[in-house]
Protein backbone atom coordinates (compact mmCIF):
# COMPACT_ATOMS: atom_id res chain seq x y z
CA UNK A 1 0.00 0.00 0.00
CA UNK A 2 1.41 3.38 -0.90
CA UNK A 3 2.16 6.04 1.69
CA UNK A 4 -0.58 8.30 0.30
CA UNK A 5 -3.21 5.54 0.44
CA UNK A 6 -2.34 4.65 4.04
CA UNK A 7 -2.49 8.32 5.07
CA UNK A 8 -5.87 8.68 3.40
CA UNK A 9 -7.13 5.57 5.16
CA UNK A 10 -5.92 6.88 8.53
CA UNK A 11 -7.55 10.26 7.90
CA UNK A 12 -10.89 8.66 7.02
CA UNK A 13 -10.71 6.43 10.10
CA UNK A 14 -9.92 9.41 12.32
CA UNK A 15 -12.83 11.43 10.89
CA UNK A 16 -15.27 8.56 11.43
CA UNK A 17 -14.15 8.03 15.03
CA UNK A 18 -14.28 11.73 15.89
CA UNK A 19 -17.76 12.03 14.35
CA UNK A 20 -19.06 9.32 16.68
CA UNK A 21 -17.46 10.96 19.71
CA UNK A 22 -19.00 14.32 18.84
CA UNK A 23 -22.44 12.77 18.42
CA UNK A 24 -22.19 11.19 21.89
CA UNK A 25 -21.18 14.54 23.42
CA UNK A 26 -24.06 16.31 21.71
CA UNK A 27 -26.48 13.68 23.02
CA UNK A 28 -25.26 14.26 26.59
CA UNK A 29 -25.73 18.03 26.30
CA UNK A 30 -29.47 17.98 25.71
CA UNK A 31 -32.59 16.60 27.34
CA UNK A 32 -32.87 12.82 27.10
CA UNK A 33 -36.68 12.85 27.22
CA UNK A 34 -38.55 14.19 24.22
CA UNK A 35 -41.86 12.56 25.10
CA UNK A 36 -43.09 11.64 28.60
CA UNK A 37 -45.82 9.28 29.74
CA UNK A 38 -48.31 10.01 32.50
CA UNK A 39 -50.01 6.63 32.90
CA UNK A 40 -48.92 4.27 35.66
CA UNK A 41 -46.65 1.27 35.27
CA UNK A 42 -46.76 -1.68 37.65
CA UNK A 43 -43.80 -1.67 40.03
CA UNK A 44 -43.46 -5.42 39.43
CA UNK A 45 -42.36 -4.61 35.86
CA UNK A 46 -39.75 -1.98 36.82
CA UNK A 47 -36.08 -2.94 36.61
CA UNK A 48 -34.57 0.48 37.35
CA UNK A 49 -35.32 4.16 37.63
CA UNK A 50 -32.79 6.84 36.69
CA UNK A 51 -33.25 10.37 37.94
CA UNK A 52 -31.44 13.09 36.01
CA UNK A 53 -31.64 16.47 37.79
CA UNK A 54 -32.06 19.67 35.85
CA UNK A 55 -28.86 21.33 34.77
CA UNK A 56 -27.11 22.97 31.84
CA UNK A 57 -28.08 20.04 29.60
CA UNK A 58 -31.81 20.33 30.31
CA UNK A 59 -34.04 22.84 32.11
CA UNK A 60 -36.25 20.19 33.70
CA UNK A 61 -35.54 17.10 35.79
CA UNK A 62 -35.98 13.80 33.96
CA UNK A 63 -36.97 10.36 35.17
CA UNK A 64 -36.17 7.41 32.92
CA UNK A 65 -37.79 4.13 33.87
CA UNK A 66 -36.45 0.84 32.51
CA UNK A 67 -38.79 -2.13 32.53
CA UNK A 68 -37.59 -5.69 33.03
CA UNK A 69 -38.09 -6.32 29.30
CA UNK A 70 -35.58 -3.53 28.54
CA UNK A 71 -38.04 -0.92 27.27
CA UNK A 72 -37.41 2.60 28.54
CA UNK A 73 -39.95 5.32 29.27
CA UNK A 74 -39.58 8.93 30.31
CA UNK A 75 -42.00 9.77 33.09
CA UNK A 76 -43.94 12.95 33.77
CA UNK A 77 -42.27 14.18 36.97
CA UNK A 78 -45.34 16.17 38.03
CA UNK A 79 -47.47 13.05 38.50
CA UNK A 80 -47.88 11.87 42.13
CA UNK A 81 -47.28 8.20 41.23
CA UNK A 82 -43.94 9.14 39.64
CA UNK A 83 -42.88 10.84 42.88
CA UNK A 84 -43.72 7.63 44.77
CA UNK A 85 -41.70 5.52 42.31
CA UNK A 86 -38.72 7.86 42.70
CA UNK A 87 -38.93 7.61 46.50
CA UNK A 88 -39.28 3.83 46.46
CA UNK A 89 -36.35 3.24 44.13
CA UNK A 90 -34.11 5.83 45.80
CA UNK A 91 -34.62 3.99 49.12
CA UNK A 92 -33.61 0.71 47.45
CA UNK A 93 -30.43 2.19 46.00
CA UNK A 94 -29.42 3.75 49.35
CA UNK A 95 -29.49 0.37 51.13
Tens of pLDDT, residues 26-79? 446 789 998 999 888 888 999 999 989 999 889 999 999 999 999 999 999 899
pTM of the full structure: 0.62
pLDDT at residue 24 above 60?
no
pLDDT, residue 76, reads 93
Average pLDDT over residues 15-26: 54
pLDDT recorded at residue 67: 95
**Could you give the 3-state DSSP secondary structure of residue 87?**
helix
Closest CA to 37 of 73, 70, 63, 64: 73
The verdict on domain 29-89 having CATH code 2.40.128.50 is no
Amino acid sequence: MSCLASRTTLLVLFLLLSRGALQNQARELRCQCVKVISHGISTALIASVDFIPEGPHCIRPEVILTRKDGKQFCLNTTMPWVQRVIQRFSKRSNL
